[in-house]
Amino acid sequence: MTYKTLGPRPEIDVRGLHKSFGDNEVLRGIDLEIKQGEVVCVIGPSGSGKSTLLRCVNLLEEPSKGQVFVGGAELTDPDVDIDAVRRRIGMVFQQFNLFPHLTVTENLTLPQRRVLGRDKAAAAKVAAENLERVGLSEKASAYPASLSGGQQQRVAIARALAMGPAVMLFDEPTSALDPELVGDVLAVMRMLANEGMTMMVVTHEMTFAREVADRVVFMDGGVIVEDGTPDQVIGNPRHERTRHFLSRLLDPAMAEVEEETSDQVGKRD
């Protein structure tokens, strides 16, 4: 992992966060700080609240209770200029969400012109710079349908970077990709981490979390179960819930055997 100096203040600060959908309480009191320049990977089983937490950080989901601060500004303050704060936040989803009728360059320049007010030439310059960063300069005139899934996700990352964010949020950015396409996307994310970008990453990529993250947060049942360095959380977890999750994730074949054995025991009983 690349060692770096982290900023003194939290870039993301979540305090007492709750989120319910009807009677289903998905987040049950989350407290989390992410410093400037820090990379935090959030792991956990499906339904643990990982993606909901991420979406609450930029208010794509409205928290039921609690506070969220980004760059010192409280997003949960009713009087906040939410659009101004969101300009500090880049978001990359599982799906690429590119406009199919626009070229790669046009996908990058449109939000710059509409949100940041850049003129066409300035937006095109920034687009070209960020396509080069993700290794896709030669695809500037291509349409999304002609790109692989991995290339489309790298374009989505470049589009987010073109807005000049201070924070990047990634919601399982490789989950929709074929395995052979994952590496190129993770390489771009490694580059951003090495450059000192503050990143919050919901992921199942344990190798990436081990090598790139400053901290790993394990969630289950809407709470943070463990929070520590990759060596602590992945290499030597303290909680049985974490150990069980990692064993199933890192050795799914063994998990299947355990399930079959359990089923057989249940039938005998």
- Tens of pLDDT, residue by residue over 19-51, are 999 999 999 999 999 999 999 999 999 999 999
Residue type, 11: E
For residues 14 and 30, is the Cβ–Cβ distance under 8 A?
yes
Tokens of 118: 């850049």
pLDDT at position 266 is: 38
- The residues, any chain, with a CB within 8 Å of residue 123's CB and separated by 6 or more, are 108, 109, 112, 113, 116, 162
DSSP string, 205-237: -HHHHHHH-SEEEEEETTEEEEEE-HIIIIIS-
Considering the segment(s) 12-88+166-252 as one domain, its CATH architecture is 3-Layer(aba) Sandwich (3.40)
Query: Where does the pLDDT of residue 254 fall: very low under 50, low under 70, confident under 90, or very high at 90 and above?
Result: low
pLDDT at position 4 is: 59
Please write the tens of the pLDDT for every residue from 217-245: 999 999 999 999 999 999 999 999 999 99
Domain ranges of the chain: 12-88+166-252, 100-165
Share of the chain above pLDDT 70, in %: 91
- Tell me if residue 142 falls in helix, strand or coil: coil
Q: Output the pTM of the full model.
A: 0.89
Backbone angles phi, psi at 243, to 5 degrees: -60, -40
Distance CA 15, CA 199 (A): 18
